[in-house]
Amino acid sequence: MDRRKLLKFGMLGSVFALVKPGSAFAEMEEKNPVKAVDPAKVFPKIISTWNHGLAANQKAWETLAAGGSSLDAVEQGLRVTEADVTNRSVGIGGLPDREGHVTLDACIMDEQGRCGSVAFMEGIDHPISVARKVMESTQHVMLVGEGAEQFARANGFGKIKTPVPEAKKAWKKWKKEQQEIAKHPQVNHENHDTIGMLAMDKNGHISGGCTTSGWAYKLHGRVGDSPIIGAGLYIDNEIGGAVATGLGEAIIRVSGSHAVVELMRQGMPPMDACKEVVERIIRKNKNLEGLQCCFLAMDKNGSVGSYSVYNGFNYAYTDANKHELLDAHFDRRW
């Protein structure tokens, strides 16, 4: 971030430092079985996966500063990554499946436990916003494929042309080399991947979202953990939230993000809860070659933590005083 942006960021931070508890907090405290946290002590905060999370967090922070909810912050933040044509794992710039189609997955969940999701959606701008639209204007949670595309078009979402030329070039190269990616998944070696985000607003409300183009060169029709509520994302505003990145199949098998939240409900700090689920994945998979999975969690007190199978996973952390990239704890080295 350049100096001007940092300065702007610092000013936004001081806006939040002045925030006083509002009536929404009092109401939440009354209803909440777990002791609610005084938001005067827990500044708004945002965490998101990978280094692309820094730009997404910045937008999310600005959204909170402008009076947006944690849900608005998550949506606006994730849209930044989705619109980045240089990002090969999220949104418009994503890599295609083995047949050359870029199919996008996303989900969103708010502090009321409402959620929306789209999967296997092609050629539509901003899956995270389509997921929010599913949540807010239908009786359903999840729309997939052609149905999701039809819904998006009917609701005015723009079309995008995918793959972008660079992603198409990479796909052609892959085809030529006949790499057996399905046998040896190459996830998370590079520092860019799915983006998952958790945001807590000034009222202590937590929302989250997750958006991805999924596993590069996957089978046509494959859907990973990212759009699946409970696997790629889970929020329970009484407890906290969790998001996942990495090999979706392994994450789905343990209902990863839901498991993290349930462990926090039992009293585990976020990092320990993430670690326990990672260890569960390790126990259940004999062959860990290339099996990178990472969880990122935030509890109701604003504590955050993360844990991954292998080293190399990092996440963006933003509050009124900090805007930085942090390394996750891990079980083993590549």
* Residues recognised as catalytic: 194
What is the closest distance, in whole angstroms, from the C-beta atom of residue 312 to ligand SD4 in the complex?
12
Alpha helices by DSSP H, listed for 47-193, are 53-65, 70-82, 127-137, 145-154, 165-177
Among 58, 129, 194, 318, binds ligand SD4 (CB under 6 A): 194
3-state secondary structure of 144: strand
Q: Is 214 in the site for ligand SD4 (CB under 6 A)?
A: yes
Q: Is 209 in the site for ligand SD4 (CB under 6 A)?
A: no
What is the closest distance, in whole angstroms, from the C-beta atom of residue 94 to ligand SD4 in the complex?
10
- On whether the CB atoms of residues 130 and 121 are closer than 8 A, the answer is yes
Q: Is 226 in the site for ligand SD4 (CB under 6 A)?
A: yes
- For the chain, the C-alpha Rg in angstroms (whole number) is 19
Give the interface size with ligand SD4 as a residue count (CB under 6 A): 14
* Cβ distance to ligand SD4 smaller for residue 203 or 314: 314
What is the closest distance, in whole angstroms, from the C-beta atom of residue 248 to ligand SD4 in the complex?
2
Q: Is 257 in the site for ligand SD4 (CB under 6 A)?
A: no
Name the residue among 213, 216, 209 with its Cα closest to residue 232.
209
Rounded-to-5 percentages of helix, strand, coil across the chain: 35, 25, 40
List the x/- string, 170-189, binding to ligand SD4 by CB under 6 A. -----------------xx-
Among 70, 81, 211, 245, binds ligand SD4 (CB under 6 A): 245
Among 72, 111, 193, 299, binds ligand SD4 (CB under 6 A): 193
Concatenated DSSP letters of 243-285:
EEEE-HHHHHHTTHHHHHHHHHHTT--HHHHHHHHHHHHHHH-
List the x/- string, 96-135, binding to ligand SD4 by CB under 6 A. ----------------------------------------
Q: Is 241 in the site for ligand SD4 (CB under 6 A)?
A: no
Concatenated DSSP letters of 78-106:
HHHHHT-TT-SSSGGG----TTS--EEEE
- On whether the CB atoms of residues 44 and 202 are closer than 8 A, the answer is yes
Q: Is 246 in the site for ligand SD4 (CB under 6 A)?
A: yes
What is the closest distance, in whole angstroms, from the C-beta atom of residue 193 to ligand SD4 in the complex?
5
What is the closest distance, in whole angstroms, from the C-beta atom of residue 52 to ligand SD4 in the complex?
12
Residue 331: which residues within 8 A CB-CB, separation 6 or more?
275, 278, 279, 282, 307, 308, 309, 310
Classify residue 147 by burial, with Cβ atoms within 10 Å: 0-12, 13-18, 19+. middle
Q: Is 162 in the site for ligand SD4 (CB under 6 A)?
A: no
Q: Is 201 in the site for ligand SD4 (CB under 6 A)?
A: no
Q: Where does this chain bind ligand SD4 (CB under 6 A)?
A: 187-188, 193-194, 212, 214-215, 224-226, 245-248
